[in-house]
Amino acid sequence: MKTKILRNIFISVSVLFALARLHGADMNDGGLNFSNMPLLPPRIMQALNLPLDGGYANRNTAVGTGKAIEAAAAAKAAAGREARIDSSFDSPSPKAEGTFISFDAPGAVTGTFPSSINPSGAITGYYSDENFVGHGFVRNHNGTFITFDVPNDVFGTYPSSINSSGAITGAYCDAVTCHGFLQDHNGTVVVFDAPGALFYLTLAINPAGTIIGTFFDVNFVTHGFIRAKDGAITTFDVPGAVNGTEAVAINPAGVITGIYTDGSFVSHGFLRDRHGAFTTFDPPTPGFINAFAPFSFGPDLSIMPNGVITGTYFEFIPGNPFGGNYRVFVRATDGSFTTFDAATYPPCCIWSFPSGMNPAGTITGSFNDGFTINHGFVRTSDGTITTFDVPGAGTGFNQGTAPLGITPGGVIMGLYRDPNYGVHGFLRRP
């Protein structure tokens, strides 16, 4: 059977032709969805005449590494299906490690999509109505909900980040395009646009109220931007970023981390300090960094108050049927790296994605196993890894558990896909 699986991997070239819709298709076995990217639901992207793949093809698939990742993702999907029907492989039993709370926002019909949790346990995100239009929500630490829409949001409101004071940033879409917004803890909304922005890929806010993010221009090239608390917006590109800059995360000191793509379409990591100075870095070779990866629920890059960074990178591995694995890295402030896999059980191959790290050095994230099922993990600073599944999470293609953030107290927030591909939020208490 192993030979059959490998044969199917290499003859599954036809799967590649579906990749134009993989990143934006419905979340089921018939319409594959490898990623939670982009920020907006696929039907909204279509309504605004934006690319369903969020510009992914323009950014990453022209040559080399992008095509290799597409081929690896398609092959992994095919092999996972084969493994799920192969009686010689036993899928691990779900692990309900911890205390779980499942939640859905009031009015959610086609899914609840949490995106961020702040230190006090307040969660923001969006829920999708019967027309697949998004509406913002805040779930307070006591479990009560507040829902909201940015004025004139014809095609929805999509919060992406909440800070310690309860200020929220994200994107909303009017009848023509999408814009950034900031909502303070009193509910007052300010809208903004980075110069030249067509639509947004990421937005994040730190305790001081500084917003950073990534936008696409009309040529679907990415650029970073910073919006100061006074509303002033600065755009930036990392030196050498011929094919795009993606600002992903910001810490309380105003240090930004993200990735940039060079002239050979190879991606690298960067730090930008509050004065605008850049430091670039690469994970251990052979490999390259990604902020958004197939089968992840991204972004897969975080920076701590002390400057420690965690993220994911693709490591090329000789003999690996998919060319390599996505692994987790931790970059210390001295530039040294620690790498690890969330799990290593058969069948091949497990891809690991960190989604958050707290000041104690505890990392959470998801991993997609050889059955293409998602599971959660938490890794403490001493290297101990615990894997877990939300009760009720599905075990079909790309179903399962996906942590998205962690508080200083170790409370984990995320989403899970049930056996019917319904999407719900969850909290896990240690």
430 residues of the chain, pLDDT tens digit each: 333 322 222 222 222 222 222 222 333 333 333 444 445 666 666 666 665 554 444 444 444 566 777 788 888 988 898 898 876 777 788 888 889 999 999 999 999 999 999 999 999 999 999 999 999 999 999 999 999 999 999 999 999 999 999 999 999 999 988 999 999 999 999 999 999 998 888 899 999 999 999 999 988 899 999 999 999 999 999 999 999 999 999 999 999 999 999 998 889 999 999 999 999 999 988 788 988 888 998 789 999 999 999 999 999 888 888 888 999 999 999 999 999 999 999 998 999 999 999 999 999 999 999 999 999 999 999 999 999 999 999 999 999 999 999 999 999 999 999 999 999 999 999 8
Please give the pLDDT value at position 44. Answer: 64
The residue ranges of every structural domain in the chain are: 99-429
Calpha distance 100→281 (Å, rounded):
37
**Side-chain-facing half-sphere of 285: CA atoms under 13 Å:** 2
Tokens of 139: 């779930």
Q: Residue 394 to residues 337, 403, 419: CA-CA distances in angstroms?
A: 34, 15, 4
> Which among 33, 113, 134 is positioned nearest to 368, based on CA atoms?
33
**How far is it, in rounded angstroms, from Cα 323 to Cα 327?**
13
Q: Are 207 and 216 in contact (CB under 8 A)?
A: no
For 239, 376, 392, the CA distances from 114, given in Å and listed in that order, are: 34, 15, 17
Contacting residues for 142 by C-beta, under 8 A, at least 6 apart: none
The pTM for the full model equals: 0.88
Contact residues for 149 (Cβ-Cβ < 8 A; gap 6+): 135, 136, 156, 157, 172
Label residue 82 exposed, middle or buried (CB < 10 Å: 0-12, 13-18, 19+): buried
Give residue 50's identity as a one-letter amino acid code.
L
**CB neighbours of 297 closer than 8 A, spacing ≥ 6?**
35, 36, 353, 355, 366, 374, 402, 404, 414, 415
**How buried is residue 281: exposed, middle or buried, by Cβ count under 10 Å (0-12/13-18/19+)?**
middle
DSSP symbols for 198-257:
SEEEEEEE-TT--EEEEEE-TTS-EEEEEE-TTS-EEEE--TT-TT-EEEEEE-TT--EE
DSSP class of 180: E
Pairing of β 412-417 and β 400-406: antiparallel
Give the total residue count for the chain: 430
How many CB atoms are closer than 10 A to CB 187? 11
- Kindly provide the b/e burial profile for residues 97-107, where b requires at least 16 CB atoms within 10 angstroms of the residue's own CB: ebebebbbbee
The partner residues of 223 in beta bridges, in order of sequence, read 215
Residues contacting 17, CB < 8 A, separation 6+: none
| 411/321 Cα distance (integer angstroms) | 36
Contact 213, 196 (CB under 8 A): no
Q: What is the pLDDT of residue 321?
A: 85
CATH architecture of 99-429: 7 Propeller (2.130)
For the chain, what is the total number of helices (H) and then of strands (E)?
Answer: 5, 29
The pLDDT assigned to 354 comes to 97
Token pair for 283: 């994970």
